Every structure is written in C-alpha cells, then in structure tokens.
Amino acid sequence: MPPLKTLIFILATLHIKAQTQTQTSDSLQNSKNLKFKYESLIIPTALISYGVIGLESRSIKQLNSTTKNELTEHIDSKLTIDDFSQYAPFLSVYGLNAAGIKGKNNFKDRTVILATAYLIMGGTVNILKNTGNVVRPDGSSKNSFPSGHTATAFMGAEFLYQEYKDVSPWYGISGYLVASGTGIFRMYNDRHWLTDVAAGAGIGILSTKIAYWIHPLIKKTFLKDSEQVSGILMPFYNGKDYGLAFSMTF
C-alpha cells in the first residue's frame, strides 16, 4: 500500500475502529466513559513514537521524502484549506449543539474540556518546536516537528468523537477524515514531513483524552462553586500568522 494511502488508513480509520469496539451502551451521563483506559494510549503513543523515532531513523526519513515526492507529483494546484480545516472538528461540536443535536456535556463542561485539551496540546507542541531543530520541507524554518495544525485538527476530532460517539459514530469518523485531510495538506503544501504529521496527530488525540480523564478532578477542585461560564472565540491575523483566539471566564 502506498505511503499516502497508509497514512489515510491509519489516521482516519484505525482510531475510530478501536474506539467503537470498546463503546458501551451506557447513557450519555455515565461516568464510566471518562475512566482511564490503558488501551486508549496505544494509538496516540504509536503515532508519537513513530514521529520521534523518525527524527533519527534513515529509513523513515526516506519515507518522508517519498511521501513528499508522491504528493508533489499527483496534485497540480496548491491549496491552503489546512489553515481553516484544523479548526473544523471542534467548532462542529458547538455547531451541532446550536442545531439542537445534544452531545455528552453541557456548554460549560465541554468548553472547560476543550480549553484543557488546547492548553495541553499547545504547550506540548510549542515546547517541542522551540527545542527541536527539524527543517521544514520548504526550508523556511527549523521548527517543523511536530505539526501544530495536525495536532489541533486531531485534538478537535477526538473532542467531536467523545461528545457524539453515543449519538452516532459517524460524527467522529467525519472529524477524523477532516483531521487526516489537514495533515495531508500540511505535507502537500511543503510545510511538514510525514513524521511531523504523525506526531501531531498523536499529541492531539492524547491531549483530548487527558482532558476528559482529568475533567472530574478539575470540576471538583476549581468549578464546584461556578454555575456559569462565558467565553469568546475570535479570529486573529497579525500580518503573518492567523488563527482563532479563545477566552473563557467562569
């Protein structure tokens, strides 16, 4: 199977399949769904490990180059959809709730979970980027590892899956397809290597899982007297970078 098709299969299918097999028929409020499960670490750990090993492995570096060449050869025009698609999965959760399709948690709880996941993911990605020395495929900088866009997309895909897995697994599947597409376009646009994308995907998935695992403790410790939560989500552009800025008060 070609490298590109292998990536799509792993990132868009394997995780959903593994999670669906462990899904129970408990109600949306069943706290058992939030308990730590060692098997949940397998896929994100494997993706992160692949990315880390690829920093030194000659054969994996060769696969990076092969994947890059394949993308360049088979696609004719460049797109920047990845700059926007990275946010689509987690924004979909709020869109679905606004449309009346309720997920697992109320607005306050899911917003706290998302903020926690974003902090974990963003902190991890920035530390690795600032301490690493991996040159981007386009040669523009030395902070290629890991892919922040991919980490954001897979963080949101796991968030979408966790909130709606008891409603329909197709919500999660669609989120992971969008996240996989984001990773593919990061490579196609010469911004990241395959190892960067794999590590970013693992970090994103794991960050959301951790956020759900520790949320009961956060809620008990910091939010027990808080009845309301408010927040604002706004796009930003500073002349060079653009994205979404989020602020929450509770």
Residues in the chain, how many? 250
DSSP string, 159-203: HHHHHHTTT-HHHHHHHHHHHHHHHHHHHHTTS--HHHHHHHHHH
Rounded to the nearest angstrom, the gap between the alpha carbon of residue 221 and the centroid of all alpha carbons in its chain is 27
30 domain-assigned: no
Provide the residue range defining the domain that includes 46: 3-19+35-249
201 domain-assigned: yes
- Give me the pLDDT at residue 100, please: 95
28 domain-assigned: no
- Give me the pLDDT at residue 14, please: 42
26 CB burial (10 A radius; 0-12, 13-18, 19+): exposed
What distance in Å separates the CA atoms of residue 5 and residue 2, rounded to the nearest whole number?
5
214 domain-assigned: yes
132 domain-assigned: yes
Coil, strand or helix: which one is 244?
A: strand
- Give me the pLDDT at residue 28, please: 41
- Give me the pLDDT at residue 29, please: 47
Spans of the chain, pLDDT less than 50: 1-33, 234, 236-238
- Give me the pLDDT at residue 78, please: 61
- Give me the pLDDT at residue 69, please: 79
113 domain-assigned: yes
24 domain-assigned: no
109 domain-assigned: yes
- Give me the pLDDT at residue 70, please: 75
- Give me the pLDDT at residue 120, please: 97
- Give me the pLDDT at residue 41, please: 86
Q: Give the count of domains, the chain.
A: 1
